Structure 1
Amino acid sequence: MLEKIPCLDLKGQHQQIKKEVFDAFEKVYESTAFSGGPFVEEFEKNFAVFCQTAYAVGVNNGTSALHLAMLALGIGVGDEVIVPANTFIATAWGVSYTGAIPVFVDCTSDTWQIDATKIEEKITPKTKAIVGVHLYGQPFDVESLLAICRKHNLSLLEDAAQAQGARYNDIPVGGFGEMACFSFYPGKNLGACGEAGGITTKNEKYYKHLLSLRNHGSMVRYHHDEVGFNMRMGGLEGASLNVKLKYLPEWNNRRREIATRYQQEIKNTHIKLQYQPDWAKSVYHLFVLTTENRDGLINYLNENNIFPGLHYPVPCHLQKAYAHLKYKEGDCPNAEYLAQHCISLPMYAELTDAEISHIIKVLNAYKNA
């Protein structure tokens, strides 16, 4: 019998590149460039090229990236920002940290991305921006959101925390909005050895502002032009990301191979998979499905040594932290259904063909008991 198959296992990836990463760490150690510095700058340049943008700014995590991007857009107290109800909570934190209000919009019933047809009814004179999330590694409907932004004079921010290398109409995500925010949390497709995040943009004004904001509001040492933050990326994180970036296309392609097998070989009427539009080339950070009896399926998978995840069991608009906004059950029915019925299958490049076959065989035998 196969050993336990977790939703995510980082050990295999890191064993492959251990020597290369440790060699990079030694260079950081020898130069004592532990906070910002040349290794972060090298990664920033390489990541901007990877995303086909002019600039990339490394920060300490993806949540900080969202926060600083909102500030660079001029979002503040009294403003409103459209946010998907179906996303990780950090998407909304970026809005709230500025004193602005996240306005939650339901997802579609098939892609599980923000429903572009539901956005305009939520726009008010206070609305300043829309956040689109490339959720699970799949690009959102970029053109539809851009059209709404142009019509209402709003900014578009991409939350690409799960989508390093994803493509919309064969163009890399990260350059469609005013800025795009990435997480390099260790479990991401491109994950640092530690906490890290980044922001890409084609706009020099935003780029320079972000450099100031992440470094205590300072561009010249001991001269502080605005209230800033200590949100620099560490040198060790930058070095590890530079090593991993070279392997990311290969790892993403393997994820696509695994996803294709799931999509083509899982044939069970009790299971529904995420719809993939023609314009979306996902990197499958997560492989999410829905089923009516989630607890039953999870228990069944566990009995067969498969341990799925949940992404995400509580939609943003129903989180206790946002109770003051007075959302109620039924306000975003698709996001609520997804939260109650979703599970995430194991998905990482090091899954073996035998493990994938086992997962598919077990799922196809599921009877919804």
Structure 2
Amino acid sequence: MNKIPLVDLHAQYEEIKDEMYKLWDEILESMYLYLGPNVKGFEKEFAEFNRVKHCVGLGSGTEAIHFSIRALGIGEGDEVIAPSHTFFATIEAIIQAGAYPVMLDIDPELYTLCPDAVREYIESNCSKEREGLKDKNTGKILKALLPVHIYGHPADMDAFKEISDEYNLMIIEDAAQAHGAEYKGRKAGALGDIAAFSFYFSKNLGALGEGGAITTNSDEYAERIRKLREHGQKDKYHHDSIGYNSRLDEIQAAVLRCKLKLLKKWNDRRREVASFYNNALKDLPLIIPTEAEWAHHVYHLYVICSDKRDELFGHLKDRGIGCGMHYPIPCHLQEAMKGYGNSEGDLPETEKAAKEILSLPIYPHLSEDDTSRVVETIREFYK
């Protein structure tokens, strides 16, 4: 019996390879390998897709978060609120920018940062001082909220906007898993001051390896990031500041341009697979994903919860079905985060999710036979 992987990009490659090879030939003939017409073309097209003024291509999603924080002027002595339930890069990027991460709990249904937890933390721990909103626990100034659109489902952005307006905070979206997701009809990536995307190869919109971008309506933030990505220079050999080497190259941009044209179709197919799973699994003693009425979920991951997660994981693996755990160790309990103020038991919803979450195969070219087999194998486990 054939194996069903958690992610399979072979069919996706077959769909775009002719156009991709044509663009690659043009690139190699020109030998214009970075920040050329494909990067500029992709930046324009992705900005239009998200209905924002600017997109700036970068080397990775982690750098997109890091640079977003830097572009907002956040650094040493500042802090940023983010969920603990996220890929570690979210928290890592805050620290790389010189700021302090305050990791809070999630909404137990959506797995996104809980607005009530954010408000409660601010009201209990922060005071308005001349220099800003001061955290009595750390002595640092709270500058921004960093909600993550986890698994392809947007965070409740109006709730965060209300908090940010009340306390004069900025909002950075981590949209690394949310290409094409929508909140009340607006695209993820157009909902805060700035947004960070990843084009890691397995994402809904993925390069052939690594890539990232920011989106924003701010001319100032976009210009700062263009300088940050290229050693702090605005014009060649004129360095206004210290920067980094984080450029999206022409080869990756060409791949992304090919895939962007198909993203809506691919996301629609993901939603079809998710709907099939929802209907087929809803009577079992597990929790299927929730889609808020204001959300358009793009199912980068299809994540169920089971109190028998480890046994179900083994059952699926033994029968050739790929599955994953996103994420089995919360960020606040990682070894690297000792000394950042959290301990086991502090974030109960996050810690419960980490013990129960299981990601099932979902991708645009997953066949009906394979989705049926996934369901049958899960139902077999619960007999």
Residue 258 of structure 1: SS of its match in structure 2? helix
Q: Distance in 2 between matches of 1:98 and 1:194?
A: 24
Aligned length: 367
State which of 136, 161, 167 in structure 1 corresponds to 2:151: 136
Deviation at 1:364, TM superposition (A): 2.3
| 1:57 maps to 2:56 | yes
| 1:68 maps to 2:83 | no
- 2:137 maps to none
Residue 359 of structure 2: SS of its match in structure 1? strand
Q: Distance in 2 between matches of 1:49 and 1:159?
A: 19
Deviation at 1:122, TM superposition (A): 2.7
Residue 32 of structure 2: SS of its match in structure 1? coil
| 1:21 maps to 2:20 | yes
Deviation at 1:270, TM superposition (A): 2.3
Describe the superposition over 1:324-357 as per-residue Cα deviations: whole angstroms up to 9, x where unpaired.
Answer: 2141111111111111111100010110001111
| 1:361 maps to 2:371 | no
- 1:248 maps to 263
Task: Report if the CA contact (8 A) 2:284-2:382 is conserved.
Answer: no
Q: How does 1:195-206 map to 2 (within 5 A)?
A: 195-206=210-221
- 2:235 maps to 220
| 1:184 maps to 2:183 | no
Deviation at 1:131, TM superposition (A): 0.3
Q: Distance in 1 between matches of 2:107 and 2:209?
A: 34
Task: Report if the CA contact (8 A) 1:83-1:105 is conserved.
Answer: yes
Give 4+ residue runs of structure 1 displaced > 4 Å after superposition. none
Task: Report if the CA contact (8 A) 1:82-1:122 is conserved.
Answer: no
Q: Distance in 2 between matches of 1:93 and 1:122?
A: 21
| 1:207 maps to 2:222 | yes
| 1:160 maps to 2:160 | no
Q: How does 1:300-315 map to 2 (within 5 A)?
A: 300-315=315-330
- 1:42 maps to 41
Q: Distance in 1 between matches of 2:299 and 2:282?
A: 19
Deviation at 1:25, TM superposition (A): 1.0
| 1:342 maps to 2:357 | yes
Residue 146 of structure 2: SS of its match in structure 1? strand
State which of 158, 162, 184 in structure 2 corresponds to 1:169: 184
Q: Distance in 2 between matches of 1:122 and 1:316?
A: 18
- 1:119 maps to 118
**TM-score, structure 1 normalization:** 0.97
**TM-score, structure 2 normalization:** 0.94
Deviation at 1:160, TM superposition (A): 0.3
Task: Report if the CA contact (8 A) 1:268-1:366 is conserved.
Answer: no
Amino acid at match of 1:94: A
Q: Distance in 2 between matches of 1:267 and 1:332?
A: 27
| 1:299 maps to 2:311 | no
Residue 225 of structure 2: SS of its match in structure 1? helix
Amino acid at match of 2:237: Y
Q: Distance in 2 between matches of 1:302 and 1:67?
A: 36
Task: Report if the CA contact (8 A) 1:86-1:315 is conserved.
Answer: yes
Amino acid at match of 1:145: F
State which of 210, 225, 248 in structure 2 corresponds to 1:233: 248
Task: Report if the CA contact (8 A) 2:282-2:288 is conserved.
Answer: no
- 2:8 maps to 9
- 2:129 maps to none
Q: Distance in 1 between matches of 2:121 and 2:30?
A: 51
Describe the superposition over 1:86-126 as per-residue Cα deviations: whole angstroms up to 9, x where unpaired.
Answer: 11111112210111100001011111111100102333321
- 1:270 maps to 285
5+ long unaligned stretches in structure 2? 127-133, 135-140
Task: Report if the CA contact (8 A) 2:54-2:222 is conserved.
Answer: yes
Amino acid at match of 1:179: I
Q: Distance in 1 between matches of 2:45 and 2:35?
A: 15
Identity of aligned residues (%): 40
5+ long unaligned stretches in structure 1? none
Q: Distance in 2 between matches of 1:307 and 1:38?
A: 38
Deviation at 1:274, TM superposition (A): 2.2
Query: Aligned-residue CA RMSD in angstroms?
Result: 1.1
Deviation at 1:268, TM superposition (A): 4.1
Task: Report if the CA contact (8 A) 2:281-2:288 is conserved.
Answer: no
